[in-house]
Amino acid sequence: MPMYNLFADKFDHLDIHPDVWVKNTPQSSLPAHLFLAAAKMAELSGLAREGAFTQFMQKMRRAFFVEARDISNRMELLAIAEQSGLPIDVIRTSVDSGKAHASICSNMYKSVELGVKSSPTLIFNEGRQKLSGNVGYRIIEANIRELLENPAGQQSWC
């Protein structure tokens, strides 16, 4: 049994296809991210119903991890988008016109500007605080609590 299935077996709510990362391996994550950017823009502009982006993201994860589908394949992505109730013509236009690409490039530029070097990275306090990698929720909570409860004009302890 693959190692990742041994880890997933500890969690009843996780399903992982035994052939994930073995069959139908995506060549890149970029096509999936392009479609996610297009879905997000469609929802924000009111061209897709509220919650469609989140549903699409969840269905895409399921398609890869549970169904072992190639989420770098355009036809797979269009099918998943359609199952999520997204307007396919709007998604295609956003990807084909370069708008989705521009969104991703903007995010990449921001990550370089903010010095993001790993994922996940949480940035607080106008970029002065960064938590990167496998950080426990108590550390995250302490940082957020300190920022919220810190009286104006005082230095943060985090």
> Quick one: CA torsion of 117, 118, 120, 122, rounded to 10 degrees?
-30
Helices (H), 17-155: 30-44, 52-65, 74-83, 88-97, 99-114, 137-149
pLDDT for 3-49, tens place per residue?
555 667 777 777 888 888 889 999 999 999 999 999 999 999 999 99
- As a whole number of angstroms, the distance between CA 108 and CA 95 comes to 17
- As a whole number of angstroms, the distance between CA 139 and CA 58 comes to 27
The pTM of the full predicted model, rounded to 2 decimals, is 0.80
Structural domains of the chain in order of their starting residue, each with its CATH number? 3-114 (1.10.472.60), 116-158 (no CATH)
pLDDT for 42-74, tens place per residue?
999 999 999 999 999 999 999 999 999 999 999
Cβ atoms 87, 42 nearer than 8 A = yes
